[in-house]
Structure 1
Amino acid sequence: MENFEEEYSNNGYKYIAGIDEVGRGSLFGDVLACSIIMPLENRIEGVTDSKKLSRKKRDYYYELILKNMVAVGIGRVNANLIDKINIKNATHLAMIKSVKNLRNKYDKQIRPDLLLIDAEHIEADIEQVSIIKGDDKCYTIACASIVAKVYRDKLCEIWAKSYPEYGIDKHMGYGTKKHREMIKLYGPSDMHRKTFVKNSENW
C-alpha cells in the first residue's frame, strides 16, 4: 500500500481525509459514504480494502480504526433520493455529506485540507485527488472502506427487523438469487430502489 498521506503531509497538508462508499450496487436501502482522517504515524497493520477482509476482520479493524481516528464522518442518501437523482449523483452527495459531518472524538467539526477519494471527484471547495482502486492502494481510503462497510452492514441488520421477508441481513440488499425471488414474491418495499428493480420481471 502506497503512502500517499506522507507524500501530501510533506507538502504541507495537515488534515488528509480518505473517502469511500458502500451500497452503490445494492437494490435496497441507502448508499453510504465515510470520510476519515487518520494519524500520519502508527498506521494500523493489516488494513486493506474491506472487500478483501472477512467479516470478523472488518469488525476488528472497524473498532481499532474508530479508536485511533482523528476525525470521522458518515453520509447517507436513501433509496427515494437515489431514484430521483440517480446512483452516481447520490454517491457523490453521500460523500459530500460525509465530509461535512467530519467530527473528532470531542464532537468538534474538522475541515480537511485534502480529500483522497476512491475513483471519484465531488463538488467541494477542498482540494482532492481521485485514486483508482484507492481502497486497495491508499491506507486512509482503506480505513474509510472498512468503516463504511461495517456501518452499513449494521444498518442492514436494523432494516432486516422491519423488512424480515427480504433477508436483508444476509445479502445486505444486493441482488442475490434469494433476494430477487423475495422481491418477485412480495414486490419491492418502500426502501427498495425502484429504478434498480423495475426490470424484476425479467430476472
Structure 2
Amino acid sequence: MSVPDLGHEHTARQAGHTRIAGVDEVGRGPLAGPVTAAAVILDPDAIPDGLNDSKKLSARRREALSEAILASAQVSIAHATVAEIDEINILRAAHLAMERAVAALDPAPDMALIDGNMVPLGLTLPARAIVRGDAVSLSIAAASIVAKTCRDRLMRDLAQQFPGYGWERNAGYPSKAHREALLNLGVTPHHRRSFRPVHNILYQEK
C-alpha cells in the first residue's frame, strides 16, 4: 500500500519554491457544522512519523499526529460557517476555508499544494491541485490530519450544547441516528439549511 511522500514538494522546490504549504479541508458532506481547512508547511528535518490520509488513521492516532504536527510545523486552521455554506454553496465555502487557512500562514508560503481537482479562485500564489493529494503528499496529509482533528473536536463541543444528534460520534454527517434526531428534535442553528435533508424538514414544517 502506497503512503504519502515528498515527491510533489521536491518538484515544487526544483521550480524555485521554498515555502510549500499542503492544504486540505474536511466537512463537505455533513448536515451540520462548518467546513474546516488547514494549511501546513512541514519542516523537512522534523516530519512526524506515520503521516497519512486522515481517513486511514484511527482517531487516537490522528490526535497524536495532530499534536506532533502542531509542535513541529507551521500550521494554520480556518473555517467557513454554516451561514456561508448556505449562502455560497459547499464547494465555494470549502475553497473559502482553504483560502483563509493559506492567508493566515505567517510568514506566507510561496506555493500551495491543494487536495482535490480545483485550485481555489481566491488564492494569490502559485498552486497545484492534486487529486487524492492526502494519499500522496506528506504536506497535504498533515493538513488533512489537523483539519479533521480540529473539526471533530469542534463537533464534540457542539454536541454538548445540542445533545441527541450524535455529533460526538458522527461529526455532523448524515448517519441514521442523526437523520432520526432531525425528525424528532428539529433543526438547530448549526444545521445547513441548503442541504436537502435539512431543507426538506424545514419545508415540511411550514
Partner of 1:110: 107
- Gap runs ≥5 in structure 2: none
- For residues 108-144 of structure 1, give each alpha carbon's deviation from its aligned partner in whole angstroms, at most 9, with x where no partner exists: x221100000013112110000001000010000000
- Gap runs ≥5 in structure 1: 103-108
Does 1:173 find its partner at 2:176?
no
The CA deviation at 1:14 is 1.1
Q: TM-score, length-normalised on structure 2?
A: 0.90
Are 2:46 and 2:72, in contact at CA under 8 Å, matched by a contact in 1?
no
Which amino acid counterpart does residue 162 of structure 1 have in structure 2?
Q
CA distance in structure 2 between the aligned counterparts of 1:11 and 1:125, rounded to whole angstroms? 17
Counterpart among 44, 47, 64 of residue 43 in structure 1: 47
Does 1:151 find its partner at 2:150?
yes
Does 1:85 find its partner at 2:88?
yes
CA distance in structure 2 between the aligned counterparts of 1:111 and 1:170, rounded to whole angstroms? 35
CA distance in structure 1 between the aligned counterparts of 2:62 and 2:49, rounded to whole angstroms? 13
Which amino acid counterpart does residue 89 of structure 1 have in structure 2?
R
The CA deviation at 1:100 is 1.4
The CA deviation at 1:18 is 0.4
Q: TM-score, length-normalised on structure 1?
A: 0.92
Are 1:5 and 1:40, in contact at CA under 8 Å, matched by a contact in 2?
no
Counterpart among 63, 67, 71 of residue 67 in structure 2: 63
Aligned-residue RMSD, C-alpha: 1.5
Are 1:116 and 1:141, in contact at CA under 8 Å, matched by a contact in 2?
yes
Which amino acid counterpart does residue 42 of structure 2 have in structure 1?
M
